[in-house]
Structure 1
Amino acid sequence: MRRRTFLSTLPAGALLAGAGVANAAPSAPQSTGGAAPAPARPADPFAGIGIGDRVTGPKFVGRSTVWGAHGAAATAHPRATLVGIDTLRRGGSAIDAAIAINAALGFLEPTANGIGGDAFCMLWDPAQRKVVGFNGSGNSPRGLSLETARSKAREGYLPSYGAVTVNVPGTVDAWWSAHQRYGKLPWKDVLLPVAELCEEGVPIPQVIAWYLERNMAGFDRQSATIEENDNRKKVYAPGGATPKVGQMFANPALGRTLRLIAEHGRDAFYDGPIADAIEGYFKRIGGWMTRADLAAHRTEWVEPIQTNYRGVDVYGLGPNTQGLSTNQILNICEQFDLKSMGFQSAASIHHQAEAKRLAFEDRAKWFADDRFSQTPVAWLNSKEYARQRAALIRPDRVMDRAFPGDAPTQGDTTYFSVADKDGMMVSWIQSNYRGMGSGLTPDDGQGGTLGFMFQNRGELFALTDGHPNVYAPGKRPFHTIIPGFACKDGNPWMAFGVMGGGMQPQGQAQIIINMVDYGLDPQEAGDAPRWQHEGSSEPTGQLAEGVGELFLETGVPAASKAQLEAMGWVLRGPNGGFGGYQNVMMQQNPGGRWTYGAATEMRKDGIALAY
């Protein structure tokens, strides 16, 4: 049985090539179904070289938190951050800036997101003084039956690419719905500058260039499973190759699409010329998406779920997302004195990783579209349940097997944070799912493309009768992408997130623990070495494999690694799957106005700015 990982992920094997730690061999690459293996990374000529020294703060930190009083933005691309700051300075709200940032990232970081995917958000509404959220995920096509979906399965699971993985993209309607509630600038004034950016072009940064080349190579290796392959090459590999670091890249086709949306609103995409082009494209390639599927889509405003971790109110979005997993990990960890165990100690990492294993077994058993099945959220989110689960963790030995609990009957993504002068703070996440998505880029039927790729989120459906997440027409699949939000003393504290498939709740919990238990500031919390556990049961119906594997970044102390291995953990080295973090924090200052502290991910290309 193949192990399905839900990192944002590259083609199979690409991330794991060359990975390893001193006391553990790297894991074997995934099966690619007979396809040629991805090329291995060359040996690192800088192995053993550590980070330079700063005059203040922890030595592992690469930069300072950025501070400002009027607005802040943290994204995975410098130009996207500038787009957000410019939108704020033109009088836009944090939501206006978030829409502009997301539109820009679909062009600037196509390896992680785009208008062919879904979006989720939590934000602090200063007028209501509360956290609100929306679910911007789309349904599966009405014309795609379970029987047909099963006929496309490989080894009992849906494939990673192709039309069977495509659901209705929810992002554009999420923009529209959020703008209707919270926008200040005219709709077209938010999007038209981004359309101009797509046409003008930008130089490609290092990490995105690396992902783009490997994603396109992965599609080439799996081209037999993808119904149409020419359009993606026109957009992302013009001239036969992806752009290299520092080379200019433009996407005028996406610019034209954004201009249509800017001029005619969300209906241009869901019930207008773009919808017609999408329907025609799927008819030509043998897919199932129709204009009727698109026209029926609506963003759902939802009430976030909440827990309290040592005095901090932590919010998440409920199923069909995995936001509840963050709360469960924290609820279990709260039963232990992590502070006294020590930062990056074996004991601290052990208890956090065991909490993840327990939470993810519940994720696999329960999480699905709540319109089709009911998850016992209140019980799974309760402190009583957390105490029961925490009692299963042994302090000196890894659990042989983690099981889901009983309840009463009843990896690629972009994340960004932005905040405005009025105190609105937005935590926004958007994704095409695995890498760039399904491999399918729609055209207009007249020789041009629409400039974006469809998501492959439908891969995450189960195919087993009776499973809450089993595929059905018109259903939303289990979703990995989750924004994060936290409050203190009734005030907003952090709009934060860690992108990257199943890493997201693990990463969010680590950020909260780093700041609450170990006193780190936003940038320090993100630069700290991370752990990631793989091998839990999955919402696709796949069962856990033993204790799984615990991946550790290089900066985890060697003594901690040795102790974890002695506890029975199967250790692995860096695999590129530790996520991408952004954070905007509001600091309440004695006798004065609050200020914003913005932090960004050193593992990505982005920057954080505040003013």
Structure 2
Amino acid sequence: MIDRYKLRDFQMPGRSVAFGVGGMAATSHPAATLAAVDMLRAGGNAVDAAIAAVAVQCVVEPAMTGIGGDCFALLAPASGGVIALNGSGRAPAAASVDRLLAAGEADKGRSPSHLVTAPGATRIGPYSPHAVTVPGAVAAWEKLILAHGTKSLGEVLQPAIACAEQGFVVTPRVAFDWSASADVLRHVPAAEAAYLPGGKAPSVGRVMTFPTLGNTLRAIAAGGAKAFYEGEIAAAMVATLSEAGGLHSLEDFGGFEPEFVDPIKSSYRDVQVYECPPNGQGVVALLLMNILEGYDLSALAPMSPERLHIVAEATKLAFRDRDRFLADPAFAKVPVESLLSKQYASKLRDLIDPDLARPAPPPLLDPHPDTVYLTVVDKDLNAVSFINSVYSAFGSGIMCAKTGVLFHNRGMSFRLEEDHPNRIEGGKRPMHTIIPAMAFKGGEAWMSYGVMGGNYQPVGHANVLSNVVDHGLNLQLAIDAPRFMSYPGDLEIERGVPPATRNGLQLRGHRLAEASSPLGGGQAIIIDRRRGVLMGASDSRKDGFALGY
């Protein structure tokens, strides 16, 4: 086994783990990492730096995230423990299965924002106003910074305001995502005008500005979250959604409140892993880790067909349970304790044939790898694990011209079946895919990490942790390792999966499919308390980097 702290092979392409002693930030965009480190060096703590960074990303990575989206966070204060924040929005009070089905029948065939795609369909369309729940991110940022930050919301928003008003350079991965999803923006004239200059996605190296979004960020900086959820900005957003056929009201926006919640946890070997509770899918990540813990993965090569088969089969079982049970616990009973019992994981392991692939469960959600994740650790060893998203690329594509806010489409995750726990109801939060993670050793925060990529995220959490704990990979190698995903449908694999592994998987009955784009991204920071060093890594699948000082 290799030393997990060893340097990479310098004759091979790749990047080194970042090191620091005064603070560390890891994000998927250079401007965001710089904003976080600047905030730390100016005396801010990890919370201040994380919100500064994510606000920048809401400007410079518009396909992945925005202030019209949601967020979740885990904070491990230096004083101990873990604090979880649920910043996901709720459905309009007027929403119901019957009302949306009726609206879908009326909309059918008239525009790409139709609610359902076929008679009897149980899903909300990606460009539907009914896919827009109240955006939760801005209120969650304010709640977190007031409770645990040292700067004001106005101070930490300044780098994002500068990017929106003075301009930012379109980086290669951002340009790739922008171009791949340009058609989403053509459904709404305001979005097309703002995001497709000259009718097409901006190329690498182009400088872009979003002055209207900058004005909205300035209003939030001056008036706090209230300026977003009440008054002129809220009225403009509600009017835009209403014109598109939505059921949103000013009361839905003004009454929104994010929540501090108790995190959930489970053990993996000698590591305690914390996740946000439902309505997020952190419980799926922990269930998957519980299943994998029963195998001696350290005896298998990280990219061996035996290991990939085990992870793929465990994934199918974990996602079967996700799609059966996961919902807003305020509206439905989610059996978290039962799902996380080691005995239950043992029963699921008994269903895995080491030599034969089982059919994947029917897909209930399309893959939506459109999210940003970041992590920050400050000089006092406060650690923040933070994720922000508009769900699918550019969300719903619905943009409020007066505010520059592009709305997410997280409500796509709701079901339109009365007997399903995740059915849409007024004031309910949909099942969420975005999940931050925090790992402890010996009762102290050890690794703050997360992996983007919609459905892939629980698998990414398990794989990165296993790569470090079971296989001794350094943090950058653990994140960069080739990825694979067995839900939904065929076993999707990245190009880096070796030919011998592919053959071994096919012999076990897996149908392989080449990934059309990278499977997510990821960032992580390890706190090495023995040496007094921070080690950071940022996924080479994205433009960003980890930076310590």
Q: Please, what TM-score do these two structures have when normalized by structure 2?
A: 0.93
C-alpha contact 1:61 1:523 (8 A) present in aligned 2: no
Structure 1 residue 605 and structure 2 residue 543: aligned?
Answer: yes
Q: Which digits, 9 at most, give the CA deviation of each residue in 1:187-238, with x for residues without a partner?
A: 3111123212211101101111121122122443xx3xxxxx1110222123
CA distance in 2, matches of 1:283, 1:167: 13
Q: Which digits, 9 at most, give the CA deviation of each residue in 1:522-567, with x for residues without a partner?
A: 10101111111222xxxxxxxxxxxx31112222221111011010
Structure-to-structure mapping, 1:160-559, within 5 angstroms: 160-220=126-186, 223=187, 229-400=188-359, 411-444=369-402, 450-535=403-488, 548-559=489-500
CA distance in 2, matches of 1:399, 1:98: 41
Please report how far the alpha carbon of residue 60 of structure 1 lies from its aligned counterpart in structure 2 after TM superposition.
Answer: 6.5
C-alpha contact 1:122 1:133 (8 A) present in aligned 2: yes
Please report how far the alpha carbon of residue 401 of structure 1 lies from its aligned counterpart in structure 2 after TM superposition.
Answer: 6.1
Please report how far the alpha carbon of residue 577 of structure 1 lies from its aligned counterpart in structure 2 after TM superposition.
Answer: 4.5
Match of 2:501 among 560, 563, 575: 560
Give the aligned partner of residue 138 of structure 1.
Answer: 89
C-alpha contact 1:278 1:291 (8 A) present in aligned 2: no
Give the aligned partner of residue 4 of structure 1.
Answer: none
Gaps of 5+ in 2: 1-5, 105-114, 363-368
For the residue of structure 1 that corresponds to 2:536, the secondary structure is strand
Structure 1 residue 575 and structure 2 residue 516: aligned?
Answer: yes
CA distance in 2, matches of 1:576, 1:175: 30
Please report how far the alpha carbon of residue 326 of structure 1 lies from its aligned counterpart in structure 2 after TM superposition.
Answer: 0.7
Give the AA of the match of 1:420: D
Name the CA shift for 1:55/1:89 in 2 (closer, same or farther; >3 Å). closer
Give the aligned partner of residue 123 of structure 1.
Answer: 75
C-alpha contact 2:319 2:487 (8 A) present in aligned 1: no
C-alpha contact 1:598 1:608 (8 A) present in aligned 2: yes
CA distance in 2, matches of 1:311, 1:133: 22
Q: Which digits, 9 at most, give the CA deviation of each residue in 1:126-159, with x for residues without a partner?
A: 12x0111111001111123322322222230211
Q: Which digits, 9 at most, give the CA deviation of each residue in 1:440-495, with x for residues without a partner?
A: 11133xxxxx1221010011111112100011111111100000111111111111
For the residue of structure 2 that corresponds to 1:561, the secondary structure is helix
CA distance in 1, matches of 2:76, 2:9: 30
C-alpha contact 2:185 2:195 (8 A) present in aligned 1: no
For the residue of structure 1 that corresponds to 2:399, the secondary structure is coil
For the residue of structure 2 that corresponds to 1:564, the secondary structure is helix
Give the AA of the match of 2:146: Q
For the residue of structure 2 that corresponds to 1:301, the secondary structure is strand
Please report how far the alpha carbon of residue 589 of structure 1 lies from its aligned counterpart in structure 2 after TM superposition.
Answer: 1.9
Give the aligned partner of residue 366 of structure 2.
Answer: none
Name the CA shift for 1:474/1:586 in 2 (closer, same or farther; >3 Å). same
C-alpha contact 1:58 1:524 (8 A) present in aligned 2: no
For the residue of structure 1 that corresponds to 2:351, the secondary structure is coil
Please give the root-mean-square deviation of Cα atoms over the aligned residues, in Å. 1.7
Please report how far the alpha carbon of residue 364 of structure 1 lies from its aligned counterpart in structure 2 after TM superposition.
Answer: 0.5
Match of 1:589 among 514, 530, 536: 530
Give the aligned partner of residue 154 of structure 1.
Answer: 117
C-alpha contact 1:61 1:524 (8 A) present in aligned 2: no
Give the AA of the match of 1:501: G
Name the CA shift for 1:60/1:374 in 2 (closer, same or farther; >3 Å). farther
Name the CA shift for 1:55/1:316 in 2 (closer, same or farther; >3 Å). closer
Q: Which digits, 9 at most, give the CA deviation of each residue in 1:405-426, with x for residues without a partner?
A: xxxxxx2111011111111111
C-alpha contact 1:278 1:289 (8 A) present in aligned 2: no
For the residue of structure 1 that corresponds to 2:181, the secondary structure is helix
C-alpha contact 2:495 2:514 (8 A) present in aligned 1: yes
CA distance in 1, matches of 2:22, 2:267: 29
Please report how far the alpha carbon of residue 329 of structure 1 lies from its aligned counterpart in structure 2 after TM superposition.
Answer: 0.8
For the residue of structure 2 that corresponds to 1:314, the secondary structure is strand
Please report how far the alpha carbon of residue 402 of structure 1 lies from its aligned counterpart in structure 2 after TM superposition.
Answer: 6.0
Give the AA of the match of 1:186: S
- Give % identity: 39
Structure-to-structure mapping, 1:9-28, within 5 angstroms: none
C-alpha contact 2:433 2:454 (8 A) present in aligned 1: yes
Give the AA of the match of 1:415: Y
Name the CA shift for 1:243/1:440 in 2 (closer, same or farther; >3 Å). same
For the residue of structure 2 that corresponds to 1:597, the secondary structure is strand
Give the aligned partner of residue 365 of structure 2.
Answer: none
Report the number of matched residues.
Answer: 524
